[in-house]
Structure 1
Amino acid sequence: MISLFIILWGCLLIGLMAIGGYFMFRKFLKRLPKEDGRSIMDWEEYYFEKTLHKWSQAEKDFLEELVSPVPELFRDVARQRIASKIGELSIQKDEESITRSTLIEGYILATPKRDHKFLRKKLKEKNIDIAPYEPFFQQSKEDYQENWEEKYKQKKS
């Protein structure tokens, strides 16, 4: 009986360490510098800090509503990642302040497809038309075609 308990306890510890190691490894990969010398997390922090002054209280509150379904343990990370994507879009659009449109667009692009159902529901509750954002909903990674990066680079140049 005790040997069975020890085996189960060992399996549990190994499983928990594997899960923790997986998340630590993912964070490590995000910290590795890319071709431009900056990591994904460096760029997230850059856009977040660069656009911090552009956020109005109403937009901060709306973002907080949108990240509310994220478990509290991960909410800060999700909020920063989404806010940095919104900031990046704001810089690209050369906006003076974060608009509701940019916030929704950035949220769609920064979140996985499974979260879009919640966003659609929230936008419907707020009586916000979803039609202008449909192309962004379609840009989910699961919908990308083969060689999309090459086509995007050709289209951009």
Structure 2
Amino acid sequence: MDDLFMWLIALWTFIMLGLMVIGGYFMFRKFLKRMPKGDGYSELDWQAFYIDKALPLWHDEAKSMLNELVTPVPELFRDVAKERIAGRISKIALDEGAKKITLDHIMKGYIIATPKRDHKFMKKKLNELDIDYTPYEALFEYADDEKQKFSIFEQTEKVSSRSS
């Protein structure tokens, strides 16, 4: 009986260590995003800046479309995904001098902000909403890739120069 108890304690220790490592990994990633870049601002600072600057461009229809597009994301991560996508959309719309956020801006921002591993779910959601994404097929190469980290600005600059 004592052996069983010791094994359970050892198992519990490994489970707790594993959970702490997983949590630490995600906290470290958030810490890295908060680290200032060469210009003194972090990725999250710029994301918040563009969202705030473009807030008047967002109308109810665009907000509801964004909310609908992030429904496949688990609820725990949905707010983070929404902010990330909204930051990309806002940057693109501001770069183009738009008067309001359109479906075109939403599609561009949504595609480049969605990690490549999630494209299958993204395309499924777009098909459910009867949104034709074939005109944006070339933008899938600019999507977030875990192996090649791009800044929000590098991606949106490429998209803006491509559409000009």
TM-score clears 0.5 = yes
Does the 8 A contact of 2:34 with 2:42 survive in 1? yes
For residues 5 and 128 of structure 2, the distance between their equivalents in structure 1, rounded to whole angstroms, comes to 55
Return the structure number with greater relative CO, CA threshold 8 A, min gap 6.
2
Give ranges in structure 1 of 5+ residues lacking alignment: none
For residues 106 and 14 of structure 1, the distance between their equivalents in structure 2, rounded to whole angstroms, comes to 38
Corresponding position of 1:54:
57
Deviations 1:78-106 (A, max 9, x none): 10011001000011111011000110110
Deviation at 1:125, TM superposition (A): 3.4
For residues 93 and 59 of structure 1, the distance between their equivalents in structure 2, rounded to whole angstroms, comes to 17
Decide whether aligned partners of structure 1 residues 133 and 81 sit closer, same or farther in structure 2, where only a CA change above 3 A counts. same
Corresponding position of 2:25:
22
For residues 124 and 13 of structure 2, the distance between their equivalents in structure 1, rounded to whole angstroms, comes to 43
For residues 68 and 20 of structure 2, the distance between their equivalents in structure 1, rounded to whole angstroms, comes to 33
Corresponding position of 1:9:
12
Q: TM-score, normalised by structure 1?
A: 0.85
Does residue 106 of the first structure (1) align with residue 109 of the second (2)?
A: yes
Corresponding position of 2:73:
70
Q: TM-score, normalised by structure 2?
A: 0.82
Percent identical pairs in the alignment equals: 51
RMSD: 2.2
For residues 62 and 35 of structure 1, the distance between their equivalents in structure 2, rounded to whole angstroms, comes to 34
Deviations 1:6-29 (A, max 9, x none): 001100110111011111111111
